[in-house]
Amino acid sequence: MRWKETFIPTLKELPAEAEITSHRLMLRAGLMRKLTSGVYTYLPLGIRAIKKVEAIVREEMDGAGGTELLLPILHPAELWRESRRWDHYGVELMRIKDRHGRNFALGPTHEEVITDLLRGEIRSYRDLPILLYQIQTKFRDEIRPRFGVIRAREFLMKDAYSFHPDESSLNQTYQRMYQAYSRIFTRCGLSFRPVEADSGAIGGDVTHEFMVLAQNGESEVLTCPGCGYAATQERAESRTSKPVDEAPLAKELVHTPGLKTVEEVSGFLGVEPKRLVKTILYRTDGGFVAALIRGDREINEIKLMRALGVEDLQMATPDEILRLTGAPLGFSGPVGLEGVGILADYSLQGGGNFVVGANREDHHLINVNYGRDFRVDGFFDLLLAQKGDSCARCGKPLSSGRGIEVGQIFKLGTKYSESMKAHFLDQKGKERPFVMGCYGIGITRTVAAVIEQYHDQDGIIWPLSVAPYQVLILPLNITHPPSKEAAEKLYSQLGDLEVLLDDREERAGVKFKDADLVGIPLRVTIGERSLQEGKVEIKLRSEPTSISVSIEEVPQKVRSLLEKISSLAKVDSQCNIGRMKSPLDEIYEQGINEKE
């Protein structure tokens, strides 16, 4: 492709709207433009990178036994009512009406549509298992679209769904998807890690997220250096120190005028924050509940929902708190609290002499002890895990890091097949609900994640596997006839490769800057002076230095260098699952020794 014939609108200035590197570079390198909040146009370079990721995904999905189809974007509301997600998915579901006033959703995910399809088609266990996937535009009305295509409202996803006669068949496919995902992200050059996760609105019990390690990641990941346990913060199980056992002292009411926060109360009383117990009131479908957590820690609301077996939860309003406890917000406590269920975190089991709200304005109780002074309906793991907590499996302290979730796989079980009455006949002729799995990859988010991991201060450094072009031919002065001729000759000699020829009549400085910004892995620079000696320069975008090569040797040299970088990026058949390092890291460490 000739630069002048395509459309690569690079930007010199930093776009003000972009907060993180990948977003800035996707705009600056002319990969995309914003239409409106969370909605992007993919420009020629952008769509080429996207197609590369898609091709890798297709190859690996096909290799794992998947078959591609294409489901509609427009979903009738009735389907979403069957699964009850018309209500439960909430405001993230984009909803529209047709001319007759019928309700529709723009698909954020396709469990309903695929289940509806297969319940009408697959009758017998003989036709199972089956794994179907699509690559398609998804819509989610995200509360805070940001970071470009990392959190968009319209984005590309690969989503796959599997249907099985039983759990063990699901487990096999789940394992295969886990491996396929590991291969896909490795082939994209990414350093990533599969972690245990929470299933959120999709449902099901077992799920893993594939996290690309990145400082700008929105997810916090907790890992155990001892046993290798890794989980999202939402999911992570951890233990923290229990209160020291001490003799219960006499309970006392203390006046704490206007002191509501943990810091204010603990400062005033001269006790450690962890001596306090926070009592947080929530409204659920099944009534109000109080959750108790140590003063210095936070409740993990997802764990609380699980403990309660509810799908939704809201913090009680100040009015509700007043009605339930008789005191304004900031003075709630478990002593004498009637009419609400009380759940406590494990870290409150044992010791005592706690400080709690007195359910009376401007008052707290000190030396409060479980059993003697208050009851709970149960102890659960309600703790939002954090770095330094003990691993729930092996006891070693947990570390934390940030990640971008690029994919997630779920064992759904029969959640959708039961609610949507999707049944097949088993070997004994008995009707059973399908056992299902689903598997998503954010295609556009993956492109952004690659850029987060592969860039420098000058621009993108594409790994070969997802680069929009492999080779950039850069004649410094296209109006110089011998340079132009050499460039055109090379362009046709390398015609079987993906080559971009910068045929613009721009200054050399502008062309170099754009070359670095756009980040094509291999650059061939044709300069007037070296050309007189029959030489041109070859440079890898990932390497600081270039090599001088005689013009006749260029095609062969280019091919061998590309071969070299691509073989480093190939996945070995073992595919080291969950590797922290990508194969391309090697090239960064060793450099390329081609200076002879």
Binding site for Mg ion (CB under 5 A): 408
- CA distances for 163 relative to 127, 132, 332, 380, 385, angstroms: 10, 9, 48, 34, 34
Question: Closest separation between CB of residue 438 and Mg ion, Å?
Answer: 10
**Preceding amide of 544 cis, omega within 30:** no
Q: Does 408 bind ligand ATP (CB under 6 A)?
A: yes
Residue 102, CA atoms < 13 Å, CB-side half-sphere: 9
Q: Does 107 bind ligand ATP (CB under 6 A)?
A: no
Angle at Cα 160 formed by Cα 154 and Cα 161, nearest 5°? 125
| Partner interacting with residue 523 (select from Mg ion, ligand ATP, none; CB below 5-8 Å by kind) | none
What is the per-residue DSSP string for 126-182? GG--EEEEEEEEEE---SS-BTGGGB-SEEEEEEEEEEESSHHHHHHHHHHHHHHHH
- Cβ atoms of 404 and 322 within 8 Å: the answer is no
Nearer to ligand ATP, 188 or 277 (CB): 188
3-class state of residue 592 by DSSP: coil
- Cβ atoms of 406 and 449 within 8 Å: the answer is yes
- DSSP symbol at 185: H
Among 405, 503, 514, 537, binds ligand ATP (CB under 6 A): 405
Span near ligand ATP by CB under 6 A; candidates 111-119, 310-318, 322-330, 436-444: 436-444
Span near ligand ATP by CB under 6 A; candidates 145-153, 276-284, 421-429, 521-529: 145-153
Among 48, 119, 140, 193, binds ligand ATP (CB under 6 A): 140
Q: Spell out the residues 6+ positions from residue 398 whose beta carbon is closer than 8 angstroms to its own.
A: 222, 223, 224, 236, 238, 385, 386, 387, 388, 389, 390, 391
- For residue 405, the cross-strand partners are 211
Which residues, 458 to 517, sit near ligand ATP by CB under 6 A? none
Question: Closest separation between CB of residue 56 and ligand ATP, Å?
Answer: 15
Among 330, 352, 407, 578, binds ligand ATP (CB under 6 A): 407
Among 278, 445, 523, 557, binds ligand ATP (CB under 6 A): 445
Sheet holding 546-550, edge to edge: 499-501, 471-475, 522-526, 535-540, 546-550
d(CA 193, CA 190): 9
3-class state of residue 247 by DSSP: coil
d(CA 271, CA 95): 52
| Partner interacting with residue 406 (select from ligand ATP, Mg ion, none; CB below 5-8 Å by kind) | ligand ATP
Question: Closest separation between CB of residue 412 and Mg ion, Å?
Answer: 13
Nearer to Mg ion, 200 or 287 (CB): 200
Q: Does 142 bind ligand ATP (CB under 6 A)?
A: yes
Among 80, 89, 139, 155, binds ligand ATP (CB under 6 A): 155
| Partner interacting with residue 540 (select from Mg ion, ligand ATP, none; CB below 5-8 Å by kind) | none
Among 165, 334, 352, 442, binds ligand ATP (CB under 6 A): 442
Nearer to ligand ATP, 198 or 503 (CB): 198
- Cβ atoms of 198 and 232 within 8 Å: the answer is yes
- CA distances for 309 relative to 200, 297, 304, 305, 490, angstroms: 13, 23, 8, 6, 66
- Cβ atoms of 17 and 34 within 8 Å: the answer is yes
| Partner interacting with residue 356 (select from ligand ATP, Mg ion, none; CB below 5-8 Å by kind) | none
Among 440, 463, 578, 583, binds ligand ATP (CB under 6 A): 440
Span near ligand ATP by CB under 6 A; candidates 151-159, 318-326, 353-361, 518-526: 151-159
Nearer to Mg ion, 216 or 367 (CB): 216
- Cβ atoms of 511 and 476 within 8 Å: the answer is yes
Among 61, 202, 222, 302, binds ligand ATP (CB under 6 A): 202
Q: Does 151 bind ligand ATP (CB under 6 A)?
A: yes
Nearer to ligand ATP, 220 or 503 (CB): 220
First to last CA, the chain: 31
| Partner interacting with residue 53 (select from Mg ion, ligand ATP, none; CB below 5-8 Å by kind) | none
Nearer to ligand ATP, 125 or 181 (CB): 181
- Cβ atoms of 505 and 478 within 8 Å: the answer is yes
| Partner interacting with residue 202 (select from Mg ion, ligand ATP, none; CB below 5-8 Å by kind) | ligand ATP
Span near ligand ATP by CB under 6 A; candidates 400-408, 416-424, 453-461, 552-560: 400-408
Amino acid code (one letter) for 406:
V
Q: Does 416 bind ligand ATP (CB under 6 A)?
A: no
Nearer to Mg ion, 25 or 412 (CB): 412
The dihedral region occupied by 519, where left means phi > 0, alpha psi between -120 and 50, and beta the remainder, is left
Number of residues that bind ligand ATP (CB under 6 A): 18
Q: Does 85 bind ligand ATP (CB under 6 A)?
A: no
Amino acid code (one letter) for 331:
F
Q: Which residue is nearest to ligand ATP (CB)?
A: 442
Span near ligand ATP by CB under 6 A; candidates 27-35, 439-447, 488-496, 521-529: 439-447
Chain residues binding ligand ATP by CB under 6 A are: 109, 140, 142, 149, 151-152, 155, 157, 200, 202, 405-408, 440, 442, 444-445
